[in-house]
C-alpha cells in the first residue's frame, strides 16, 4: 500500500473543567477527597470546590488535588440578598485563613440554622410529621440546607422529587419558606477580594430579571468589584451561554463555568458534564488563574 500523500497533524486533546461543585461540607454527597478523585476519574483538567457558605472542606480538597495531580481551586458560594432576590456569588482563589471571611460565613451559617428551625415548625403546622433531628441525619456534621429537608420529605413519602419539595413547600414564596440572614453583594464582593479572591456571579438566570434589568444589575456589581460571570452552567441553553459570554466581553468580565454538581443530591447533574452535554473549556480556568496572579501583585 503506498504511503499517504499527506498527513494531518494531531490536534492536542481539549481539556475541560468544572468550577462549580459541592461536597459533604455543604450539601453534596461526596467528601472533598472523593470529589477530586471523581474529577480525575472523568478526565477533568481542573476543578473548584464552591461549598455553600463554608470553606471548611478546602484544606482536604487542595491536599487531594496535590495527591491526584489535578489542578484545584479554592472557592466558596455565598448566598446574598439583592432587590428581594436571592443571588449567589462564587469566590475563587480565596485564602481560607482570612478571619473576616470566616466570621461572615459563620454568621450566615448561624442564620441558616435559625431558619431551619422556623422551617421545620412551618412544615409541622402544615401537617408534615418531621423533626430537625431527622434532617440532621442526612447532613451529618455538615451544614443543613433545604436540600437535606427535601431529602427527608422524599424519604417520608411526602413528595416524590426534589423539584416537588421546592415547588410545594421549600421554594421562595411557598408555605414552608423562611428568609434568613444574608450579606449584600457589595459586602460579599469586598470580603472575597480582601481574602485574595475574585468574585463571580453564579447561575445568573436564577435572578429571573429582564435582560435590561439584569445588565443594569451587572454594571452595579462590577462597580462594586465583581470580576466575572458564570457563562457555562448545567441549566443553560447554547443561546444562554452565548448571551452571557457576550455580556462578559462587553463589560470586561471573566467568564467561568461549572455544573453545580452535588452528587446523589442532584443525580441528574454529572460532574464535568452537567446534564450530559456541558463542556467548560480549560482556557477559562487559565484566564481566572492569570487574573488571580495579577491581583496578587497589585
In a domain, 11, yes or no: no
Please give the C-alpha separations between residue 285 and each of 98, 258, 265, in angstroms, as whole numbers. 23, 11, 26
* pLDDT over 70 (residue 5): no
Please indicate, yes or no, whether residues 97 and 125 belong to a single structural domain of this protein.
no
- Compute the Cα dihedral for 159, 160, 161, 164 and give only its sign: negative
Mean pLDDT of the chain: 90
Please indicate, yes or no, whether residues 21 and 156 belong to a single structural domain of this protein.
no
CB within 8 Å of 65: residues ≥ 6 apart: 36, 47, 71, 72
Task: Name residue, grid cell 419539595.
Answer: 165
* pLDDT over 60 (residue 291): yes
What is the extent of the structural domain holding 164? Answer: 113-170
pLDDT confidence of residue 115: 84
Please indicate, yes or no, whether residues 222 and 271 belong to a single structural domain of this protein.
yes
In a domain, 176, yes or no: no
Considering the chain, what percentage of its residues have pLDDT values greater than 90? 66
pLDDT confidence of residue 296: 79
* pLDDT over 60 (residue 2): no
Mean pLDDT of the 115-130 span:
90
In a domain, 131, yes or no: yes
- Digit-coded pLDDT (tens) for 19-53: 999 999 988 999 999 999 999 999 999 999 999 99
Please indicate, yes or no, whether residues 280 and 164 belong to a single structural domain of this protein.
no
Please indicate, yes or no, whether residues 281 and 186 belong to a single structural domain of this protein.
yes
pLDDT confidence of residue 85: 81
Residue at a domain's end among 170, 195, 219? 170
Please indicate, yes or no, whether residues 51 and 192 belong to a single structural domain of this protein.
yes
Q: The CATH number of the domain where 160 resides is what? A: 1.10.150.650
In a domain, 4, yes or no: no
User: How many independent structural domains does the chain possess?
Assistant: 2
Please indicate, yes or no, whether residues 217 and 96 belong to a single structural domain of this protein.
yes
* pLDDT over 90 (residue 7): no
Mean pLDDT of the 206-235 span:
94
pLDDT confidence of residue 24: 92
pLDDT confidence of residue 164: 92
SS3 258: strand
Nearest-angstrom CA–CA distance, 183 and 188: 6
Mean pLDDT of the 153-167 span:
90
* pLDDT over 70 (residue 289): yes
pLDDT confidence of residue 12: 56
pLDDT confidence of residue 208: 87
Could you give the angle at the alpha carbon of 168 between the alpha carbons of 115 and 88, nearest 5°?
50
pLDDT band at 182 (very low <50, low <70, confident <90, very high): confident
Task: Name residue, grid cell 470553606.
Answer: 55
pLDDT confidence of residue 9: 52
Please indicate, yes or no, whether residues 191 and 289 belong to a single structural domain of this protein.
yes
Considering the chain, what percentage of its residues have pLDDT values greater than 70? 93
* pLDDT over 70 (residue 113): yes
Q: The CATH number of the domain where 206 resides is what? A: 3.20.20.140
* pLDDT over 60 (residue 56): yes
* pLDDT over 60 (residue 3): no
Mean pLDDT of the 139-161 span:
80
Element (H, E) at 73: strand 71-82
Mean pLDDT of the 208-234 span:
95
Query: Strands (DSSP E) along 141-293, which ranges?
Result: 198-201, 228-233, 254-258, 280-281
- Digit-coded pLDDT (tens) for 224-243: 999 999 999 999 999 999 99
Residues 56 and 145 sit within 8 Å (Cβ to Cβ): no
The pTM (predicted TM-score) of the whole model is: 0.83
Angle in degrees, 0-180, between the axes of helices 238-250 and 211-223, rounded to the nearest 10: 40
Amino acid at each position: 500500500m503506498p504511503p499517504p500523500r499527506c498527513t494531518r497533524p494531531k490536534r492536542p486533546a481539549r481539556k475541560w473543567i468544572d468550577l462549580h461543585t459541592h461536597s459533604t461540607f455543604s450539601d453534596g454527597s461526596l467528601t472533598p477527597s472523593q470529589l477530586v478523585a471523581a474529577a480525575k476519574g472523568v478526565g477533568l483538567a481542573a476543578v473548584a470546590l464552591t461549598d455553600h457558605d463554608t470553606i471548611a472542606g478546602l484544606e482536604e480538597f487542595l491536599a487531594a488535588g496535590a495527591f491526584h495531580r489535578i489542578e484545584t481551586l479554592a472557592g466558596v458560594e455565598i448566598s446574598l440578598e439583592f432587590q428581594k432576590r436571592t443571588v449567589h456569588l462564587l469566590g475563587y482563589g480565596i485564602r481560607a485563613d482570612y478571619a473576616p471571611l470566616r466570621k461572615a460565613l459563620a454568621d450566615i451559617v448561624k442564620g441558616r440554622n435559625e431558619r431551619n428551625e422556623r422551617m421545620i415548625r412551618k412544615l409541622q403546622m402544615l401537617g408534615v410529621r418531621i423533626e430537625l433531628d431527622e434532617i440532621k441525619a442526612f447532613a451529618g456534621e455538615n451544614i443543613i440546607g433545604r436540600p437535606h429537608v427535601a431529602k427527608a420529605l422524599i424519604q417520608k413519602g411526602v413528595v416524590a422529587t426534589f423539584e416537588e419539595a421546592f415547588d410545594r413547600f421549600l421554594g421562595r414564596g411557598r408555605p414552608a419558606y423562611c428568609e434568613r440572614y444574608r450579606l449584600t453583594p457589595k459586602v460579599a464582593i469586598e470580603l472575597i477580594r480582601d481574602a485574595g479572591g475574585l468574585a463571580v456571579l453564579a447561575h445568573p438566570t436564577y435572578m429571573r430579571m429582564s435582560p435590561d434589568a439584569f445588565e443594569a444589575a451587572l454594571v452595579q456589581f462590577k462597580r462594586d468589584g465583581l470580576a466575572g460571570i458564570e457563562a457555562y452552567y448545567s441549566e443553560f441553553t447554547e443561546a444562554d451561554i452565548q448571551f452571557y459570554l457576550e455580556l462578559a466581553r462587553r463589560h470586561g468580565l471573566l467568564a467561568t463555568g461549572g455544573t453545580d454538581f452535588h452528587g446523589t443530591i442532584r443525580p441528574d447533574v454529572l460532574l464535568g458534564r452537567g446534564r450530559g452535554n456541558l463542556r467548560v473549556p480549560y482556557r477559562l480556568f487559565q484566564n481566572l488563574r492569570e487574573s488571580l496572579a495579577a491581583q496578587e501583585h497589585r
